[in-house]
Structure 1
Amino acid sequence: MKKLLAIAISSFFVSAGVTAGDTYFIQHVEQAPVIDANENDTAWATADTLTQFTFPWDTKLAPTTEFKAVWDSEAVYFRYRVEDRHVTIGEGERGALDSDRVEIFLAKDTELTKYYTMEIDAKDQIYSAIGTYDTKLQKRTSLIEFEWEGLKTSSKETEHGYLVEGSIPMETLTKMGLWQNKEKTELLCALMRAEFTKTENGIDMGWITWNDPKLPTPNFHNPKPFGECKLVK
């Protein structure tokens, strides 16, 4: 019975365009981490460590990317710690978009009829937006800037790269209709990173993901980079 259920779930995600098998378990904590970019916060020791990030559209080895997340009754807390020898920081209106940055996307459904982006750089600049995707046209149809209600973040450069911490209130996830089950323990998520390197000819843009979307060209705004983030105890 369990095997049949697993096959059914896997088939559902494949047919919907989400890559089956990409799941991150968000562990419960009694004491929430403080969002202050403090690498020594003991709450993160409870979290599962995700490091399977690669360059799907390049043959070179991706620099180390580590993602952790935990939750309590108030919020989901996340941390990215990344290796980056030369941190690029953008300025002005496009600050975060011209920077090395980490990214989290959350979707309302597997077809991405509405999804939300969150992109954060080493100077705590944030770009976030609401997007829509058309499965028939197989392309993004809109992207409008917005602010996450109650989002807290803290970033800093480190000796070997940079660190980003953040939290999203449970109430915000509920208001936005992002829970995938009535127990409010499942989210559709995509975990990525933009790695920009300055060269003599400009900026080499590298795109890092937690899975291989198997798309011909770099594209985060697509169902393929999405998987599941599950809250567990």
Structure 2
Amino acid sequence: MKLVHSYGILLISYFFCITSVLARQPIEAATAERPKETYQIQRLTGDLPINAEWNKSQWQKVPSIKLSNYMGKAPGFWPETEVKMMYDDANVYVIFHVKDHYVRSTVREYNGSVSQDACVEFFFAPDSASPEKYFNLEINAGGTPLLYYVTEPWTAFTKLDSTDIKRVEIAHSLPSVIDPEITEPTDWTIEYRIPLAVLGAFSNVTKPEPGAIWHANFYKTASKSINPHWITWSPVDYPKPNFHLPQFFGTLIFQ
């Protein structure tokens, strides 16, 4: 009798062990099926005026990234968002182009809640040895920025002050304030130059040169829009909108 009882316990233990393993498999498989994105960053030759012109000659031969993933509920209207990057010895350059439909932008103060407006965002870890530490640069359609350096999402971060933020040269194609919300199709562009010296005051910076790697993600959002959305470049496997997940950053490779 004792033998039968012990055998029954072994069977039950085996059942729970197998069930636990099987329960984890879909999560692990889902993560494996969502590879991180990669982008090759070209070197700039010559000068680049920062004027929010998407079609100017310096950008024409640079491949673009298309933001094709989303978090949360799928938006009713999907803003078509593209971004390009280049670099030189002293700066990195970024330009966003958005084919939008619902655009509102009212925040004017630095480090304000710009993500509530129509907004494009660049989260990037410039130290390849510390991909979990990153800057988040968020700029609304009116050109107002937010810039933090984050060492621990939501709990440990530094807000860059206006002196440092003003060293990031920003151009925008729309007016500084857009209110009421534009509801018809609207194209808009944000372009900027980030000096490496600004980053180096807060973080180690892996020097941009052929073969160097940074980690990053690009986002488009408008959380207080008629058409709220949270769109990403590299897929983020999380049940609700949250851009502060550096484990899902894609890879930037300098050429």
- Which protein has the bigger helix share? 2
For the residue of structure 2 that corresponds to 1:105, the secondary structure is strand
Instruction: Please report how far the alpha carbon of residue 76 of structure 1 lies from its aligned counterpart in structure 2 after TM superposition.
Output: 1.3
1:127 matched to 2:146: yes
**Alignment-mate amino acid for residue 210 of structure 1:** W
Which residue is 2:193 aligned to? 167
Provide closer, same or farther for how the CA distance between residues 40 and 59 of structure 1 changes in structure 2, counting only shifts above 3 A. closer
Instruction: Please report how far the alpha carbon of residue 81 of structure 1 lies from its aligned counterpart in structure 2 after TM superposition.
Output: 0.4
Instruction: Please report how far the alpha carbon of residue 142 of structure 1 lies from its aligned counterpart in structure 2 after TM superposition.
Output: 2.6
Provide closer, same or farther for how the CA distance between residues 207 and 180 of structure 1 changes in structure 2, counting only shifts above 3 A. farther
Which residue is 1:22 aligned to? 37
- Equivalent residue in structure 2 for 1:206, among 214, 217, 229: 229
**Alignment-mate amino acid for residue 168 of structure 1:** I
Length-normalised TM-score, structure 2: 0.69
Larger radius of gyration: 2
1:68 matched to 2:84: yes
Q: Is the 8 A contact 1:35 1:153 kept in 2?
A: yes
* Matched-pair identity in %: 23
RMSD after superposition: 2.8
For the residue of structure 1 that corresponds to 2:85, the secondary structure is strand
Provide closer, same or farther for how the CA distance between residues 184 and 212 of structure 1 changes in structure 2, counting only shifts above 3 A. closer
Instruction: Please report how far the alpha carbon of residue 183 of structure 1 lies from its aligned counterpart in structure 2 after TM superposition.
Output: 6.6
Provide closer, same or farther for how the CA distance between residues 92 and 71 of structure 1 changes in structure 2, counting only shifts above 3 A. closer
Provide closer, same or farther for how the CA distance between residues 105 and 52 of structure 1 changes in structure 2, counting only shifts above 3 A. closer
Alignment of 1:1-233 (within 5 A): 20-60=35-75, 62-91=78-107, 93=109, 94=112, 96-107=114-125, 108=127, 109=129, 112=132, 114-133=133-152, 140-147=154-161, 148=164, 150-157=167-174, 160-175=186-201, 176-179=203-206, 185-196=212-223, 198-199=225-226, 205-232=228-255
**Alignment-mate amino acid for residue 153 of structure 1:** I
- Which protein has the bigger strand share? 1
Instruction: Please report how far the alpha carbon of residue 125 of structure 1 lies from its aligned counterpart in structure 2 after TM superposition.
Output: 0.4
For the residue of structure 1 that corresponds to 2:60, the secondary structure is helix
Length-normalised TM-score, structure 1: 0.75
Give CA-to-partner distance per residue, 1:19-52, whole Å, 9 cap, x none.
Answer: 7531111112212321011233210013111114
For the residue of structure 1 that corresponds to 2:143, the secondary structure is coil
